[in-house]
Chains A and B, each alone.
Chain A
Amino acid sequence: MTEVATQPPEARERRKLTGYWLLLPGALWLLLFFLVPFYSLIATSLYDPEGSILTGYDMTWAFGNYVTALQDYWPPLFRALWYGAVATLLCLVLGYVLAYAIAFKAGRWKNLMLVLVIAPFFTSFLVRTLSWKLLLGDEGLIVDTLQFLNILGDDGRLLATPFAVIAGLTYNFLPFMVLPLFASLDKIDPRLVEASRDLYARPIVGFFKVTWPLSLPGVVSGTLLCFIPAVGDYINAQLLGNTQTRVIGAVIQSLFTDANDFAIAGALSMILMIMILAMVLLYVRRAGTEDLL
């Protein structure tokens, strides 16, 4: 017994170090592929705005880039945040109902339904978005039907409207909402809901007092997984939107590749990152889900 308890001191030292050695590959990876590019992005955002590919770009602490970027591009920036927020909310409503049904009502269909939720990932994101173009097209079935029912005017349309962009975003990010919601709903002990009924809670009260609070970790991670990529996404806005629906991702891309305006593009990227980070921190703090951070 005593022999087991007391280890030679070097062995304990070594074991302490093992933890650090295990950290090393991940830390090196992050250093190389996150920290270095991140520094490069900060530097880019502070480049002298007069720089060009002819003269080269110098890092001159040009904080004015941030002001210029915000002044010139606040509409697409807020549009992206707005589309992302609406799409996330729609995902939450649709996803919650679906995840609830899969977790509690699906019975032996549970696994099949989960596979169906993931199935869209087997085809490319681009192909799925392009097929929405076919669905919503001016001569397509949906528009024709809506026009026949007089819900949509004769020259009304769905494609190339903000509606199409948000619908596309909602569709594309729905699985990211359903999966974490399902994971936390599935963990809920049904006896807790039964107990609430025993205490004469109406089903709706039982849901809000028991099920909803217990599913909050899923709600928080689901909304984050939807919102963050949805704000940065510009494929939906480009393929399904019109000239009034351009979002910040598309602006950054065209500033980098077409205009070679690295300084403003870098500043916009940083602004987007800081805004999302601030909103996420605020949200997580408000939601109070400790096990996320």
Chain B
Amino acid sequence: MAGESPGPTAGSGAGRTTSRAPGASRRTFLKGAGIGAFALGSAAVLPLFGSASAVQDPATCRATDVSQRDKRLVVSNWPAYIDVAEAGDDQYVTTLQEFEERTGISVSYTDDVNDNAEFFARVRNQLGACEPIDRDMMMLTDWMAARMIGLGWVQPISAERVPNLHANLIEPLRGRQWDPDREFSAPWQSGLTGIAYNASLTDEVGSFEALMTRDDLRGRITLLSEMRDTMAFMLKVTGGDPDDFTDDDWYNAIDYLRGRVRAGQVRAFTGNEYIQDLTAGNIVACEAWSGDVIQAQFDNPDIKFVVPEEGLNLWSDNMLVPNKATHLENAEAWIDYYYEPAVAAKLAAWVNYICPVEGAREEMEKIDPDLVDNFLIFPSEDDLADTFDFMALDEAQNRQYEGDWSDVTSG
């Protein structure tokens, strides 16, 4: 290489030192040229990596329904959300087995939904580009269902083929603003968000205001990391209405939460794992989902669920048929089947969440009379008089609020 460089070359000692200069400057030049080429290349290539709008039209983005000749159905659900036979119990026929026997449809059922946002991230590329996700049904919580319906990713369900849904859906779940006539969604199970506490470690915690301010609870409570669950109550505490709030209401609520977090009141923002912390005594009270609490009570009767003074947050996980699903009719048969009161009661006896089906309570008398009066499974109209929901957010609001939320939870 040195031999190729122009100017005085090796030979004398002096020549050798001067010959370094062109070599070094060439290296600098090459480095500069490399960076220049990278910059130019980037300028040309980078715009190609933009991404298009993900909005689809369910009327055009759909697959031919092969339900009649292909008796199959692919369902994605949350873990521990359907009845299964206890080990060694050969007598028990699960609701799913009964469905398969009655309709001749074979169901491939997977519990691969763990988190709404995570599931969304998993399917957004396919659904956003109108490609199949190889599922005929997925169960997502209200706000995520609203978002997906808004993006046009969900197929409408024919009302004629699901008469049970329209006849038996309980009143409090009708007329939700994001799908008022249940054209796209059908609740699978519902639940309440409220307060849980460990009675062996603290006395009753009756409201979110107490949860957020009582000194003896400092550093020993957790809140849920789902923004909507927690902020609905923060809005309530600061005088806003989660069903319909303004930016100002939002800022009041988030500032209040930030103040309490800074004061060290809140130990952590968690997903389902709060229930282990509560039973282990690492925390004494927390924001909680009703079904988790009922299941924990079987092992530890000291765990209590309270209806907070601020009211209850009623939510559902909804059955949705994604675009490009090939077994829409079979999915409709499934929805109609699970809205038969007897089937719904059998399911509720196992999963312990709120049953969205009218008439299931009467059927429950035959299965497990103990559960009939449990208001966390069959709440009365009175119990649900005070429930509220989080208003639907558009994409800009969603980002703004999720961003603020992430600021507060990130300290």
Residues of A within 8 A of B (CB): 39-40, 42-44, 46-47, 52-59, 72-73, 75-76, 79, 137-139, 155, 157, 159-160, 241-246, 250-251, 254-261, 264
Instruction: Given A138-B281, A242-B267, output 7 extra A-B contacts at Cβ < 8 Å.
Output: A47-B50, A52-B399, A57-B51, A59-B50, A137-B281, A251-B406, A259-B402
Contact: B268 with A243, CB < 8 Å? yes
Is B52 part of the binding interface, using a Cβ–Cβ cutoff of 8 Å? Answer: yes
Complex A-B: 25 CB contacts under 8 Å: A39-B42, A43-B46, A43-B48, A52-B396, A57-B50, A59-B47, A59-B49, A76-B411, A137-B280, A155-B219, A159-B282, A160-B268, A241-B268, A242-B266, A242-B267, A243-B266, A254-B409, A257-B117, A257-B118, A258-B406, A259-B402, A260-B395, A260-B398, A261-B399, A261-B402
Q: A79 contacts which chain B residues (CB < 8 A)?
A: 411
Contact: B46 with A53, CB < 8 Å? no
Q: A139 contacts which chain B residues (CB < 8 A)?
A: 280-282
Contact: B399 with A259, CB < 8 Å? yes
Q: B51 contacts which chain A residues (CB < 8 A)?
A: 56-57
- Which residue in A56, A246, A251, A259 is a CB contact (below 8 Å) of B50? A56
Contact: B53 with A257, CB < 8 Å? no
A25 CB to nearest chain B CB (Å) = 23
Is B21 part of the binding interface, using a Cβ–Cβ cutoff of 8 Å? Answer: no
Q: A257 contacts which chain B residues (CB < 8 A)?
A: 117-118, 120-121
Q: B120 contacts which chain A residues (CB < 8 A)?
A: 257
CB-CB contacts of B114-126 with A at 8 A, as 1s and 0s? 0001101100100
Known: A138-B281, A257-B120. A73 touches B410 (CB 8 A): yes
A265 CB to nearest chain B CB (Å) = 10
- Tally of B interface residues using CB under 8 Å: 42
Is B54 part of the binding interface, using a Cβ–Cβ cutoff of 8 Å? Answer: yes
- Which residue in A39, A157, A256, A264 is a CB contact (below 8 Å) of B46? A39
Is B107 part of the binding interface, using a Cβ–Cβ cutoff of 8 Å? Answer: no
B143 CB to nearest chain A CB (Å) = 11
- Which residue in A53, A59, A138 is a CB contact (below 8 Å) of B128? A53
Give Cα distance in the complex from A287 to B10, angstroms. 33
A248: nearest chain-B partner, CB-CB: B410
Known: A39-B45, A43-B49, A260-B399. A254 touches B406 (CB 8 A): yes
- Which residue in B49, B399, B407 is a CB contact (below 8 Å) of A44? B49
Is B55 part of the binding interface, using a Cβ–Cβ cutoff of 8 Å? Answer: yes
Is B261 part of the binding interface, using a Cβ–Cβ cutoff of 8 Å? Answer: yes
B144 CB to nearest chain A CB (Å) = 11
Of all A-B residue pairs in the complex, the 9 with the closest CB atoms, nearest first, are: A43-B49, A259-B402, A56-B53, A246-B410, A52-B395, A244-B411, A139-B281, A56-B52, A43-B46
A256: nearest chain-B partner, CB-CB: B121
Known: A43-B46, A53-B128, A56-B53. A258 touches B151 (CB 8 A): no
Known: A39-B42, A40-B49, A259-B406. A53 touches B282 (CB 8 A): no
B55: nearest chain-A partner, CB-CB: A54
Contact: B266 with A55, CB < 8 Å? no
Q: B48 contacts which chain A residues (CB < 8 A)?
A: 43
Give Cα distance in the complex from A72 to B407, angstroms. 8
Give Cα distance in the complex from A54 to B147, angstroms. 10
CB-CB contacts of B376-411 with A at 8 A, as 1s and 0s? 000000000000000000011011001101110111
